[in-house]
Chain A
Amino acid sequence: MISRVPVLLHTPLMSGSNFIHGIVLVGGIVALGIATTPLEQGIGLAAVIMGAMNVTGGYMVTVRILAMFDRSKRKGTPR
C-alpha cells in the first residue's frame, strides 16, 4: 500500500500516520478511567494529555502540509 508513494508525499504520510497513532488517546482515556490510586490517576492524566496533543497536533500539522499542495493546484492565484 505504501511502497509506491511519491517522495513528495512522504512528509504528509508520515504526519498522517503520526496522527493515526493518536488513537493512543482512547487507551489513555481507558487507563485514566480505570485508575484508582492517586499515582495511577496522575500517570493516567499524563497519558490523556499527551495522547490528546498527539491527536490535535498531528491532525493540524497534516492538514497544514496538505493545504499547501491544494493551493498550488489552483494555478495563478496569488496568495
Chain B
Amino acid sequence: MAKYAFFLGCIAPLRYPGIEKSTRKVAEALGIELVDLADASCCPAPGVIRSFDKKTWIAAAARNLALAEKEGLEIVTICNGCYGSLFDAAHELAEDPELLKEVNGILAEIGMEYKGTTKVRHFAEVLYNDVGVDAIKAKITNPLSYQVAAFYGCHFLKPSKIKNIDDPENPHILDDLIEATGAKSMPRKKKILCCGSGGGVKAGFPNVAKAFTQTNLENMKESGAQFIVDVCPFCHLQFDLSQAELGFNIPVLHLSQLYGIAMGMSADELGLAAHKVPVVL
C-alpha cells in the first residue's frame, strides 16, 4: 500500500473539515495510506508569508519538510497553496546548498536538520499518476452524471518548469480525474484563470479578487456547470464565500468530496454543512 505523509495545511482542517474527511476516506478506498504529518504548521502560505519574509517562509517550510524526512515519507497535500510552498521550498533547498545551510542554521535552534530529500506531491497528481484513472474508475460505486467546471487554480501546475505535471495553458489531468466518476467536465472560456485570492490579494484588495472570481463564475455558468470542482481549499473558499454577493449559486466541491460522492459517502460525511453555497446532490 502506497504510504504518504498527509499535510493538512490551514483552510481544509480549520474551515472546510469535510475536505480533510473525504480525502481520508477516498484515500482509504483507493488503497492509499495517509499518515498524519504530526506537528506540522502552515506551509507557510506562498502568497502572503512568502511576500512578507522569504527567510521565514523557507525556514518554516523546511521544518515541515524535515518532519516528513524523519518519517521517510513523501508529503501529500490537498491544497495548491501548500503544494506551491512546500514544492517550491523543497526545490530551492535541493538546488542551493548555501540556502540549505542557512536554513539549517535556523532549524538548529529547535534541534532539527533538513537534509534536502523530501518529495512533495499534490493529492490530485498522486491520484492521477500513482493510482491511475482506470483503478479509480473501478472503485466508483455511485457513477455521477453531473456537468462540472474543473478548476485547476495556479500553484498545482505552475511554475511548470519545476512541476512538470501537465500543460499549464491547456491541462487535462483534473478533467480526466473528474470524468473518471462519470461526470462531464464542461469546456469553458478562460479555464485557467486564477480565482483571484492568491498573493495576498484576497486580504489586501478583496474587490480585485472578486473581479477574477466573477469572470470565472460567468464562464462557468455559461458552460452549463452544475458544480465547481477544485483541488485547493483556498480557491474553494473564494468561490464558496463570494457567490452570494456576486449573484451566483454554483455549489463548490473539492475533488476529494466529488470522489466521496462517487464512492457512496453521505452528505454528512462530506462535511457539506460548512459550505455557504448549499450543495444539493
Check if A and B associate: no
Chain A residues in contact with chain B, CB under 8 A? Answer: none
